[in-house]
Each structure stands twice: as structure tokens, then as C-alpha cells.
Amino acid sequence: MKAAVVSFPGSNCDDDLIWALETVCHQAATKVLASATTLDGFDLVLLPGGFSYGDYLRSGAIAKFAPIMAAVRDFAAAGGYVIGICNGFQILTEAGLLPGALQANTSLEFRCAQAPLVVANAETAFSNAYADGATITLPIAHGEGNYYADPATLAALEANHQVVFRYADNPNGSLNDIAGIVNAQGNVLGMMPHPERAVEALLGGTDGLGVFDSLMAATKGEPHVQHA
């Protein structure tokens, strides 16, 4: 598996993703600047967490205009796997690659904590290494993680099994406890929790490995390995 980690001005989890992919999962990962215009040769594209362009206007609202985003749209349209984590999820919704929006947490406070999650759909390219209904714990760190969609969109997400992860103890007010969703085609995932921060026991847990193991299986990087 060859992964592209897109680095926007203000991204701060790009190196974390590269560490998780290269050092822990032994997969090739390349940092691609937001000014780039092509993603040729990659099997996976990741949009990291952070504060792209300072989160001015709205989180992700400026990043959607970065030159690389045209290539991300083309990559996704061709069926390539894309994952946006935290700020990356916000960018994907702003860019129209995922439905809905991320609003300010209902507490109006930045939340940084370990968040228990339920795997709501273990049959995606991003979750196949987990057991369906499994409870995992991943860290969150966001001020605008409150997922919102209009009633029709929310109903469609549920009917099409596009909700991949739910909060077991909702930390931000997200509708239907949504922590992560895929697009209708199943090749684009957005999630607020950080799997790349939970890939080594030294860091407090390895529950995030399932996301990367799932992608490796989907891209033939390594055999499927089931986690919790």
C-alpha cells in the first residue's frame, strides 16, 4: 500500500499519520503538500487533523480550495480510498465529498479525551478488521466535532449503513452519536477520533490499528487481521 498524507498549512497530525503507516504498519507513506496537483501512483489518500489555514471562517472552509483538493476529488471519483481524520473530516464535508457538517461542540469547549466508540459497520474498507458492534477507544481532540445533517440526509446515512463509528458516550452533541461516516460508494471515510494516536501500547492503546489493518486488507497491503 502506498499512501499520500496531505499536509495543509496548519496541519499538525500529518507526521503522526506517517509514523503510524511507516513505522508501525510498515507501509510506504509520502507527505504531499496542499499546493500539489496530482495524486498519481497512490493507493490511499489521508487528510490529517490540525487547523488547516488556521481554521479561519470555518474549519476546513479554506482548505477545500487548496490545489490538491481537485486531485482528491478525482481520486475519490475513480474509487480510490480517502480518509479524513478530525480536521480532515471537516475538510471532506466542506468539499462536498461527505454529507453533513461539523459544528461547534455543544459544550462550546475544546474536548481532548479518550472516547469509547462502537463499530457500527464492520463491512467497510476502513473497519473490516474490527468485529461488528465492538467497543474500541480512540482519542479525540476537537472544538468542532458536533456532526449535523438534515433529517433526510441522516435517514439516508442510517438506511445505507454509512455510519461506521458511533460514540458510546457522546462528547460533542453529534446527531445519532455519529463519530465517523462513509460516502454512499464506501470509499471515503471521515472520522473525528484519531486512530493514528492509538497504534502503540506506549501511547495508551492500539485500538486504532484496526483502521490501518482494514485499509491494508482492502488495498492488498497485508492480510486481514481482526481486532476487538
Q: Which residue has the cell 499538525?
A: 12
C-beta of residue 129 within 8 angstroms of C-beta of residue 227: yes
Considering 94, 142, 194, 227, which one is annotated as catalytic? 194
Catalytic residue among 25, 86, 94, 227: 86
> Which residue type does 132 have?
D
Q: Which three cell numbers stand for residue 63?
A: 482548505
Can you tell me the distance from the alpha carbon of 53 to that of 60, in angstroms, rounded to the nearest whole number?
8
Q: Which of 13, 25, 142, 196 is catalytic?
A: 196
Give the helix ranges, DSSP H, for the chain: 14-19, 68-77, 87-94, 151-159, 209-218
Locate 3 and state its grid cell.
Answer: 499512501
Q: Verify whether residue 86 is a known catalytic residue.
A: yes
Residue 91 half-sphere exposure toward CB, CA atoms < 13 A: 34
Residues catalogued as catalytic: 86, 194, 196
